[in-house]
Amino acid sequence: MKCPHCSHPEDHVIDSRPVENGSVIRRRRECLSCARRFTTYERLEVIPLVVLKSGNRREPFDRNKLRDGILTACKKRSISVAQVEKLVSEVETSLQEDYVMEVQSRTIGDLVLGKLKELDPVAYVRFASVYKQFSDLDSFLTELKGLKQEQKLRGKKVKYADLLSTFLNGTTAKN
């Protein structure tokens, strides 16, 4: 590694440790010529994933775009930024493990919906309303009823009126 201070080509590693959940190695180095220290990071080079959109348009996968969409769905909910970041990382990891170069945008949406359904039913409905592009109120209500039925089967109690009210105006029916 070339020293960033004097450009000498030789150094020695003083300290080495994994960071970012083990996906990156941080190395503290010291130049053998000028004795100044500097830090380097090693990370796995990931082949960029391409998202296949409707109409066969292609665009690079954008983690920030995914996070922004999820944050919008989680607005005014008791969901921390850390929970959103974890969800985004889980989706991104799943995509990198299962898809080599291209992934359908529908696949990404389905992954997010599955994770949001577990995290928060209102965030799920908000994301679904944009992602599924409901054509009319009946299809939207059908989605709400299906979610309520799933929640009931899992033993979670979700009031239909609260779910609809929270989705529409960010408050519960009791407010």
CA angle centred on 102, ends 97 and 107, rounded to 5°: 75
Give the per-residue pLDDT at 25: 95
Among the residue ranges 10-24, 68-82, 145-159, 161-175, the one predicted with the least confidence is 161-175
Mean pLDDT within 150-163: 61
Distance CA 138, CA 44 (A): 47
Give the per-residue pLDDT at 158: 55
Residue 175 has pLDDT above 60, yes or no: no
Q: Answer yes or no: pTM beyond 0.75.
A: no
Mean pLDDT within 161-175: 51
Cα dihedral sign for 103, 104, 110, 113? Answer: positive
Give the per-residue pLDDT at 173: 44
Give the per-residue pLDDT at 43: 84
- Pull the structure tokens for residue 153: 């089967």
DSSP β-ladder status, 50-52 and 102-104:
parallel
